[in-house]
Amino acid sequence: MAKVVVVGAGVIGLSTALALAEQGHDVAIIGAFLPGDQHIEYTSPWAGANWMSFALNQPDVEKYDGETYKYFYKLAESVPQAGITFRNNVIITRKSDADLPDKQLGSLFLKRGPWFKNLVKNYTPLTASELRSYPGEMAYGYKFLSFNINPSVYLAWLVSQLSNFGIRLKRVKLAHINDAVKYHPKGTPDYVVNCTGVMVSTLGGINDPNAIPIRGQIVLVRDPCPNRFGLDTMLSISGVDGSPWVQSETRQELFYSMSRGDGTTVLGGCFVAGDYTDSVDPRLADRIVARAKQYLPELLNEQGEFEIIRHVVGWRPGRVGGPRLEIESAPLPGTNVKVVHNYGAGGGGYQGSRGMAVTVAHIIENDIASKKSLKGSSKL
């Protein structure tokens, strides 16, 4: 058993702490923000959130997301208090986008289907009749059984699971990663796990220049008929207006919706890399609403408008090159404490959270085994 301090109390930090506690490690969690807080730098409460892996030629991310799909499936089946519910997910590619190169189109919208089509339940190509039911010219699409995650409920559930292990969260804003060694109640830890998310670029001792925010903006509206499709449906369309969905560009928009089953639906959205704007862009909000009127007219009131609850802006914790999950080869200065990194999931934080957490647990277990092996060799 190792003593571990997890830095960061978003979905990645909480999931990591839980996976480590389940393996018998003695875990403490600190974070500048805690569940219940609402701050632009605290990403997890603002998420959609769902499972819809967009890994493209990224086997590690596929592993994280695949592990999490199986975990969420079990929770949706038998743990209603976790706030994870089954949803049908419909993904459609427009004819105007269908011939784009893979990297531009993105993994979700490829004609051959996504990497996960043999993993998920109920994967089914859309029929020509189903495609014609949507406005515009649609080339192809598919649907599968996915999940919607209620962020506030799931974060609270993770905290309750940690509480079962006697783990409490402590509010601490670190200036430097070295300071994390002060916060294990039983003395200097063996490991510090860095799950600091979107602001890791400014954390002393890390200052990762590849870490960037990916700005998102959504509109939350009332849903007068939340069970209209049996299983509330999530919908994503490959492009918007006259523009294709191009992953390689800095500014990206596409239409998506997530029915939460609680009388609300999320309408989105955008992915804007490197944008620290924390205010609502009213022109983008208007574009989101206009697109949603095309695809979800059943949600409109008698006046032909949505009943808007609020507009939300959040920063996804992105990273050029993808998530960073690795252990530093050298300990923190003047200590034997090693840092393990787990950040940079971008918009895939929830859908990869369990797989990333389990990977961190494996990294630490392997390092402990390596230390034991070295000690054994030194005695020979």
Q: Which residues are annotated as a binding site?
A: 43-44, 196, 316, 347
**What sections of the chain are H helices per DSSP?**
11-22, 59-78, 102-105, 128-132, 151-164, 282-295, 349-378
Q: Which two tokens stand for residue 143?
A: 């649907």
Q: Which residues are annotated as a binding site for FAD?
A: 43-44, 196
Cis peptide before 17 (omega within 30 of 0): no
Distance CA(213)–CA(177), nearest Å, equals: 20
Distance CA(268)–CA(257), nearest Å, equals: 6
Q: Which residues are annotated as a binding site for D-dopa?
A: 316, 347
The DSSP string of 204-255 is BTT--TTEEEEEEEEEEEE-S-TTTTSSPEEEEES-BTTB---TTSSEEEEE
Distance CA(350)–CA(356), nearest Å, equals: 10
Distance CA(317)–CA(198), nearest Å, equals: 4
Strands 264-273 and 211-222: antiparallel
Phi/psi at 37 (nearest 5 deg)? -75, 155
**Closest among 139, 132, 129, 135 to 98, alpha carbons compared:** 139
Q: Are 216 and 76 in contact (CB under 8 A)?
A: no
Residue 319 exposure: Cα atoms within 13 Å on the Cβ side: 24
